[in-house]
Every structure is written in structure tokens, then in C-alpha cells.
Amino acid sequence: MKILCVCPIGIGNYLLCYPAFSALKRSMPGASVQMLALREGVASLARGDALWEKVHAFDPTKLPKNMWGVIKSFFSLLGQKYDVCLNYFPSNTWQYNLLPLILGIPRRYGFKYHVSPLSKLSFLCNKKLPVAPHLHDVRQNLALTQYFVRKDLSMADREIRFPALFDEQDRAWARDHAASLSMNKRFVGLHPGSSAEHGMAAKRWEPEKFAKLADRTCAALGAEALVFGGPDEADVVKKCAASMGAQAHVVAPVSLQRTAALMSLCYVCICNDSGLMHIAACQGTPTVGIFGPTDEKRNGPFGGHCLVIRKKIDGFPVWTAMNVGDRSFPKNTDPQASLGALSVEDAWEQLRPWLEGIDT
């Protein structure tokens, strides 16, 4: 049997799908399991993992600029003649629901989303599992694999495994790089940015507030800060570092593998809801996620040493499992109202006792 797993867009989505991918391979070891990544960055992270027979990158949003590349990818997929497609959560866009049908895949598994199936073409999946409103994405995706393989895949959080994100060379580089920055062996990792796609910049807490919370954390731990971010986050990274009183080292953009290796050296990481937050959490680094419009019940940092900080106000979170596929905000809603209301004092009240309990 030849199976295509459609992975949602982001790095964080890939990590939260990975336990479901792994469970699929364990349940059907003789099957050809291939992945369709909707961004090249996700594909590059997956390539080399023994889980996958092939990894394909197909981004239909680049069709106007790279028509030949997209068409070439399409015909490569078409030639595989898949038996089954599993469209993992939360890939609810018309392009990704339509593609498996055009590829001629007869059995198309997905979710019965709460957003109109006509606008997103989710009705094109002919095997649908209802979305569970309060499940974490890790569990939501395990449920889809279980629905397909018809085996009980129940497991405790501690049994769930994520992919290795770096090798020994990356680890050695990270140790050398950290030593070149400071003699202090205790670091606090910071990610004050997030993806800005589709209005997702609304997930960013103000960098000046981020800096003040980081100062308190560094003082409490006797640590220095490593400030992470990609090229499109340069301004917010610099603003955060410049606003700190504690020693802050801006980490120049490097590969995701080296970024993960550096984050693994941190005593704790504090991040907005982002792919780097999931990179930190999934490899066991104690991780703090600062949440505003998004719902931590479905995509908070996953693991035993994680904390979510949010200011509870009416109407938030606004992006939940109930409206996946609809990125709009309710009328007269400020998407950053929750984060705007979150003060440094509020955040520190939640963070301080958690820090004290990390080693207990």
C-alpha cells in the first residue's frame, strides 16, 4: 500500500503531527509512507528521517511565481499512484483538500471541520473524522491515524516521541558557539517573534515586555539570554535584545538543526506561539509559551516541563479547533487585545513559581 501524508504548513505543525506519522509507520511497517510538505522548510526537516520513503514539497501558493516547479512537483506526485491520503490537522484549505482528488487518490482521509465544507472543499475527503474541540493537535492527529489503521493508539504523554532534530555535529557546533559567546553555562532562550503569515504577527507579545520578563528570568537563574529569530524577525529580535538589562546575545540565523541544538542547551526557553517554541518543547527543554489569539489547548507546548502564560479576557482565544480554516477575527475584535492586556507583572506571577519547580 502506498500512503501520502499531507502535513500542514509550519514547522510546529510538522512536529505536532509527527507522533501520528510514527504511529502510522509502526502500525503498517510494510507500507510505503510518503510525506507531502506544503513548505520547503518542513520538507528539509523531514528529509533524512528513516520514517519516510519519500518527502515531496508542493506549495500551490507559489504557482504564479514558480509555475514550472509547481507543475513538475504535481506530476511527480501524480506518478506515485497513491492508494490512500491522510490529510492531517489543521490542513483545512481548499487547495489541500482538492489536491488529493486531482491526484486520483481513491481513499482520502481528513477531518469534518466546523467551518463551511463548501468554502474549504473539505467535503472532498471521503473518509472524515469529526474534529474534537478540546484535543491537543498531537492527540487530534493520532486520532486520524487510529481512524485509518483501526487500532487503539492510546498512549501517555511520556510515551509520545518526536523526531531527532539535530545530530552530533550540530550538537558540537552549538556547544562551541555557546562557549564563544559567554563563559556562563546557563542560558535562557528567547523567541520574541513568530510567523507573520496570514495575520499571525498578532501572536507576538511586545518585545519590550518580552525583554523585561527575560531580565527577571535571567536574574532569578543567574543566566544570560540567547535571542532567536529568522531573517524576517530581525527587527523584533534586535528590539528585544536592546531593551534588556541582562546580557543578551542575538543568535544569527542558522539552520533549523543548529537552532534546535542551541535551544537544547538552554535552561529554559520563553517563546511566543511559534515553530521555535515547539522545537524547544519537543526535545525536552523546559518551555514557556506566551499565548494570545491562539488556543493553547490545541497547540500549546507539549511535554512535562511546559508552561502557558496568557491573560484571560472575554473572547480569547479566537483561533480554536472550532474555526480551523477561518483566519478572520470576530467583528470589532482587536487580535492583540489579550497580549496587550498581559503585563510583565502578570506574566512574572505565572512564571516565577514554575521556575522554582523546574528542578523539583
Instruction: Report pLDDT digits (tens) over 86-116.
Output: 999 998 888 889 999 999 999 999 999 998 8
Domain spans of the chain, in order of start: 2-152, 168-356
10 Å CB burial of residue 182 (0-12, 13-18, 19+) is middle
pLDDT tens per residue, range 298-313: 999 998 899 999 999 9
Fold classified for 168-356 = Rossmann fold (3.40.50)
pLDDT average, residue stretch 40-53? 90
Say if residue 220's pLDDT is above 80. yes
**117: its cell numbers:** 465544507
pLDDT average, residue stretch 179-188? 95
What's the pLDDT band for 182 if we cut at 50, 70, 90? very high
Task: Give the residue from 137, 136, 198 showing the smallest Cα distance to 335.
Answer: 198
What's the pLDDT band for 229 if we cut at 50, 70, 90? very high
State the distance between the two ends of the chain, measured CA to CA, in whole angstroms. 48
The SS3 call for residue 150 is coil
Say what the alpha-carbon torsion angle 10, 312, 220, 238 is, to the nearest 10 degrees.
Answer: 50
Check residue 131 and report its DSSP letter. P
Task: Give the residue from 58, 30, 257 showing the smallest Cα distance to 163.
Answer: 257
253 preceded by cis ω (within 30°)? no
**CA-to-CA distance for 55 and 116, rounded, in angstroms?**
30
What's the pLDDT band for 144 if we cut at 50, 70, 90? very high
What's the pLDDT band for 61 if we cut at 50, 70, 90? low
The SS3 call for residue 319 is strand
Cβ-based neighbours of 246, under 8 Å, separated by 6 or more: 214, 215, 218, 219, 223, 224, 225
Say if residue 319's pLDDT is above 60. yes
Same fold, 2-152 and 168-356: yes
**Residue 63: predicted pLDDT:** 59
Do the beta carbons of residue 256 and residue 41 sit within 8 Å?
A: yes
What's the pLDDT band for 150 if we cut at 50, 70, 90? very high
pLDDT average, residue stretch 210-217? 98
pLDDT average, residue stretch 310-322? 94
Do the beta carbons of residue 111 and residue 132 sit within 8 Å?
A: no
Task: Give the residue from 91, 73, 184 showing the smallest Cα distance to 141.
Answer: 91
**Residue 143: predicted pLDDT:** 97
- Average pLDDT score over the chain: 93
Say if residue 120's pLDDT is above 80. yes
Say if residue 118's pLDDT is above 80. yes
Say if residue 184's pLDDT is above 60. yes
Strand partners, 294: 319
Q: Residue 153 — φ and ψ, nearest 5°?
A: -110, 25
Which residue type is seen at 152?
D
pLDDT average, residue stretch 241-248? 98
**CA-to-CA distance for 302 and 88, rounded, in angstroms?**
18
**16: its cell numbers:** 505536532
**Residue 41: predicted pLDDT:** 84
**170: its cell numbers:** 550540530
**Residue 62: predicted pLDDT:** 64
**CA-to-CA distance for 351 and 288, rounded, in angstroms?**
8
**Residue 64: predicted pLDDT:** 61
Burial string for 223-249 (b: 16+ CB within 10 Å, else e) reads bbbbbbbbeebeebbebbbebbebebb
pLDDT average, residue stretch 33-37? 95
pLDDT tens per residue, range 153-171: 999 888 999 999 999 999 9
Tell me the angle at which helices 275-282 and 256-264 cross, rounded to the nearest 10 degrees: 50
CATH no. for 2-152: 3.40.50.2000
pLDDT average, residue stretch 5-33? 95
